Amino acid sequence: MMPVLIYEETLQCPICKRNTLKHSEYVYDSGPGGILNITVFSCSSCGFNEKLVKPFEESKPIEIRFEVKSEDDLNVLVYRSPTAQLEIPELGISTEPGELYQGIITTVEGLIEDIIDTIGDFCDEECIKKLQDAKEGKIKFTIILQDPSGLSFVRSEKATVTQL
């Protein structure tokens, strides 16, 4: 059986920043290996490519926690799916995905930038300052993603994933 495409969208590329990143979700019956969920990101502009395979059974609500403590942590790749709620307690950030939210694949630093872009208008000077400090690695903070679709990920061994 060939992998079946269940979902496809175009996003901004985390590397070249062009809107040419194709995100595809496939379901694949591998026989003895069970049913698999394959996530593919590929950019036609710069060649960025990322593929993840996991058992389809694990596509359940999850909570991901990731403590950002160093500059290396800021470069970790993050995918926030269209259904994921994002919380950063230290920065007073808690955002529900809107109906039109498309999801984003980026680095931790890019995720903070995205927050500054989207909630900037609702944020006072002190709050913007905090976000800037976080982006530059001056303060430690925790990223918490709650995702009913289970598709979000943080590409680090230090990230913890809990089934909800």
Residues forming contacts to Zn ion in the complex (CB under 5 A) are 13, 15-16, 43, 45-46, 48
Give all strands of the β-sheet with 49-55 in edge-to-edge order. Answer: 4-11, 21-29, 35-43, 49-55
The conformational region for residue 111 under phi > 0 = left, psi -120 to 50 = alpha, else beta, is: alpha
In angstroms, give the least distance from the CB of 48 to Zn ion: 5
Whichever of 105 and 123 has its CB closer to Zn ion, that residue is 105
Whichever of 48 and 56 has its CB closer to Zn ion, that residue is 48
Whichever of 21 and 62 has its CB closer to Zn ion, that residue is 21
In angstroms, give the least distance from the CB of 64 to Zn ion: 24
How many angstroms separate the CA atoms of 149 and 118, rounded? Answer: 22
Specify whether the CB–CB gap between 43 and 23 falls below 8 A: no
Whichever of 44 and 162 has its CB closer to Zn ion, that residue is 44
Whichever of 63 and 113 has its CB closer to Zn ion, that residue is 113
